[in-house]
Structure 1
Amino acid sequence: MIGLHDYPSLALFARVVHLRSFSAAAREAGIAKSAVSRRIAQLEELLGVRLLQRSTRAIAVTEEGLRVYEQCAALVAAAAAAEEVAGGAKGDVRGTLRVNAPVTFAQMYLARTLAEFLAKHPGLEVHLSTEDRIVDMVEGGFDIVIRIGRLANSTLVARKLASDRLVVCASPAYLRAHGEPSTPQDLASHECLHYGLVARADEWRFRGPQGPLAIPTRGRFVATNGTVLREAALAGAGLVVLPLFMVAREVAAGELRLVLEGTRRAAIGIYAVTVHRTHAPPKVRAFLDFAAKYFEGYDWTTKGARI
């Protein structure tokens, strides 16, 4: 049975997972690495489960360890919140906020959002990493991960920051040369650029009279970054499926044209995802509130930055 005297070990386990390192957790706690390893081993024995898989180069959190970590992280966050209130420092956001986001969204919007947030909190430091592939929050040690699209069910907690939709577009020059598709089925005779991190059948999906409609497409240009696909479309390489936030300014300027409007699926969301169901650290709560207000009613056409 877990007692009060075991709480420091639970907190230490949370720091090991968050930092992905016994050594880093030991330095932070001011104790020897061997002491950290011993206390985690004792905690595993007490709980009767393996929390971490250790190797010479890295640690990996087990499925049971992830569930325990979520509770331990909540415990640590609650302690931090209590210290904040007791010390009279409520609202004083400090420490390091670790954020992960898709490359293009980070470049076009999130960097400016974070810059404004930092200006309000001099005691805070932000570490932003960018990755278009889905990352593991726990393994990556992230406080917040920005995700775009429909979220799968998970133990993570998502806060919606903004809405957007996927659109199909191409350059006027391409459409003059190849014609404009009037139905999804017309795409069979077009060059359809492909985002290599998803299946074509999922990328080129539409709404038909009988429900979802996946259109077989072809195309000779494949990339794993949305900005690259946008630039290829601007150069006349073909049709492309992208979030509106990536092409709104180009559409408004006449550099790209939307096609097949009304045939796509419902709107997609832009979410800030955390592991905290309750008692999120002050830095996380502050950013979630700031970002939700920042993107409320956001106009992608006038505020989108070209990169």
Structure 2
Amino acid sequence: MNRFAALEAFVRVAETQSFSEAARRLRSSKSAISRNVSALESELGARLLNRTTRSLNLTEAGRAYFERVSRILADLDDADRALGQLQASPRGRLQVSAPMSFGFLHLAPAMPEFLARFPEVDVDLSLNDRFVDVVDEGFDVALRIGALPDSSLMARRIAPIRRTLCASPDYFRRRGTPQTPEDLKAHECLRNSNVARTQEWRFVDENGKPSLVAVSGRVSANNGDALRIFALSGFGVASLPTFIVGADLRSGALVSALDRFVPQDLAMNAVYPHSRHLSPKVRAFVDFLVARFGKRYWDPDDGRP
């Protein structure tokens, strides 16, 4: 058994969940890939894959083995390319995951500039508000807003994300402008069902002490753009990032409230798999994001840092 070929076959099958796709990527035959994986399982004395006519999944042992072996192969690949890669121009397919609203409003409009600057890079952009598994799903870079869980991923801060509590001028004329977070209990609150505590909003007092306020309302949605539409229509108060409502605040279509109570502790980060030598396409893309979005051009000009 060619140990390297067997390890590579196993990793590609695990990544693609397909013997056929693994064979295509390795420019081999499906039968050869199957033989290599079977030989590896025999040598290890453990089943790495559960195979049925409809699915192919890693066993518990297979997942643990895959995590170690994929890193080893990545390191070997890095070692082969290291010297040339450091000087190489960005090229190849770049798979990017981003939150739906930010991706549609800001990232997608910026991509033509990136593509024009790096003509040898192809971009596959996936917009989704779910928490993607960067490694298992094959992404090169993912943009994430909020606290980052502990992981083996590398991360780079792209920009602070400012939140604001806002409603239409007409809504505040009819219902009154809240002066304290507790006042929201008497308001129609537009809630984001994509967050863990959709019926509790977090605030800080003037001493920086955090608190949770129970809120209620007839509308909840799993997307900030939808909540913006309800706010613009005068239906209630929304808690949204300024990258969604910055233009509305500047134009006066929406008005902010309780600014001093809204914590500003969020950031957007680019996360990507750990690599000894960051690929030129990923490095170029992350540098581009910092230059493009680091100054938060979407924020209203209200004197905030």
TM range (shorter): 0.7 to 0.9
C-alpha separation in 2, matches of 1:114 and 1:163 = 20
Q: Which residue of 1 is the match for residue 168 of structure 2?
A: 171
Cα drift, residue 18 of structure 1: 3.8
C-alpha separation in 2, matches of 1:271 and 1:44 = 39
Cα drift, residue 60 of structure 1: 4.0
Q: Which amino acid is 2:31 matched to?
A: S
Q: Which residue of 1 is the match for residue 243 of structure 2?
A: 245
The C-alpha deviation readout for 1:6-29, integer Å capped at 9, x for no partner, is 334434444334434332121111
Backbone CA RMSD of aligned residues: 2.9
Structure 2 matches for 1:204-219, cutoff 5 A?
204-208=201-205, 211-219=209-217
> 173-182 or 53-62: which moved more?
53-62
The C-alpha deviation readout for 1:150-205, integer Å capped at 9, x for no partner, is 11222222221111122211111111110111111111110111111123357511
Structure 2 matches for 1:190-229, cutoff 5 A?
190-200=187-197, 204-208=201-205, 211-229=209-227
Q: Secondary structure at the match of 1:38?
A: helix
C-alpha separation in 1, matches of 2:114 and 2:64 = 31
| The one of 271, 274, 298 aligned to 2:272 | 274
Task: Tell me: CA distance 1:60–1:233, structure 2 relative to 1, closer, same or farther (3 Å).
Answer: farther
Q: What's the TM-score, normalizing by structure 1?
A: 0.85
Q: Which residue of 2 is the match for residue 116 of structure 1?
A: 113
Cα drift, residue 280 of structure 1: 3.2
> 106-115 or 277-286: which moved more?
277-286
> 191-200 or 59-68: which moved more?
59-68
Cα drift, residue 120 of structure 1: 2.0
Question: Contact 2:191/2:217 (CA < 8 Å) preserved in 1?
Answer: yes
C-alpha separation in 2, matches of 1:12 and 1:138 = 17
C-alpha separation in 2, matches of 1:265 and 1:48 = 54
Structure 2 matches for 1:285-304, cutoff 5 A?
285-301=283-299
Structure 2 matches for 1:24-39, cutoff 5 A?
24-39=21-36
Q: Which residue of 2 is the match for residue 10 of structure 1?
A: 7
Structure 2 matches for 1:48-87, cutoff 5 A?
51-61=48-58, 65=62, 68-81=65-78, 84=81
C-alpha separation in 2, matches of 1:169 and 1:88 = 48
Q: Which amino acid is 1:230 matched to?
A: R
Question: Contact 2:86/2:280 (CA < 8 Å) preserved in 1?
Answer: no
Q: Which residue of 2 is the match for residue 135 of structure 1?
A: 132
> 129-138 or 30-39: which moved more?
30-39
Q: Secondary structure at the match of 2:24?
A: helix
Cα drift, residue 283 of structure 1: 2.0
Instruction: Give ranges in structure 2 of 5+ residues lacking alignment.
Output: none
Task: Tell me: CA distance 1:67–1:147, structure 2 relative to 1, closer, same or farther (3 Å).
Answer: farther
Q: Secondary structure at the match of 2:259?
A: coil
C-alpha separation in 2, matches of 1:287 and 1:242 = 26
Q: Which residue of 2 is the match for residue 92 of structure 1?
A: 89
Question: Contact 1:98/1:127 (CA < 8 Å) preserved in 2?
Answer: yes
Aligned residues: 300
Question: Contact 1:191/1:219 (CA < 8 Å) preserved in 2?
Answer: yes
Question: Contact 1:195/1:203 (CA < 8 Å) preserved in 2?
Answer: no
